[in-house]
């Protein structure tokens, strides 16, 4: 070993002692990833606005379709045909329905996602080896926003936090996501 190698050894040891800092994933890359995400399935943990925790399985079929099945409950949330339907497993009444376009979730279910659109992204930062993007409908910021957390290499959606029009926050943390899965259209039928 030469003198130069000995002099660099402490510097290299110090550099290797700290974790590599992830670079912020670009908005173009995140848009590309979301536009290429056609179908996916993952287990999820949901932290509700009141602090309660739910778990279940989410099915995503872009564009405009998602299904949340909650474990230990007959509660079901569906987005399809431009509507979000919430089935309360405790009652036999008709589901509550809302236009999908009036929810922040519509931003990641849209047919064509362009996070570079003016006034859509309100925050874009690297935090603890993840990239965090907060987005809103630029025409209707009053509908709330969605904060998405991504990891890199490869780019993958790990969680989102929806802040609704009343300021209530719901966090969805995704488990391992299987993409390219076959999901029957009946999974998204609002009855």
pLDDT at 3 over 70: no
Q: Which residue has the higher pLDDT, 72 or 47?
A: 47
CA-to-CA distance for 86 and 100, rounded, in angstroms?
A: 12
pTM: 0.84
Could you tell me which residues are beta bridge partners of residue 46?
Answer: 54, 172
What structural domains and CATH numbers belong to the chain? 21-172 (2.50.20.10)
Q: What is the pLDDT of residues 121-139, one digit of tens each?
A: 999 999 989 999 999 999 9
Q: What is the pLDDT of residues 109-124, one digit of tens each?
A: 999 999 999 999 999 9
pLDDT at 31 over 70: yes
């Amino acid at each position: 070993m030469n003198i130069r190698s000995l002099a660099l050894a402490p510097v290299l040891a110090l550099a290797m002692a700290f974790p590599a800092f992830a670079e912020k994933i670009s908005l173009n890359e995140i848009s590309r990833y979301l536009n290429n995400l056609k179908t996916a399935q993952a287990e999820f943990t949901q932290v509700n606005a009141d602090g309660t925790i739910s778990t279940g399985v989410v099915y995503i079929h872009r564009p405009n379709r998602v299904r949340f099945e909650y474990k230990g409950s007959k509660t079901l949330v569906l987005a399809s045909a431009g509507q979000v339907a919430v089935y309360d497993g405790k009652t036999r009444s008709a589901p509550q329905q809302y236009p999908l376009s009036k929810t922040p979730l519509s931003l990641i279910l849209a047919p064509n996602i362009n996070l570079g659109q003016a006034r859509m992204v309100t925050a874009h930062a690297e935090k603890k080896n993840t990239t965090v993007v907060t987005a809103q409908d630029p025409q209707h910021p009053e509908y709330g926003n969605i904060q998405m957390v991504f990891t890199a290499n490869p780019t993958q959606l790990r969680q989102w936090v929806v802040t609704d029009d009343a300021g209530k926050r719901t966090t969805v943390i995704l488990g391992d996501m299987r993409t390219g899965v076959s999901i029957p259209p009946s999974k998204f039928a609002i009855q």
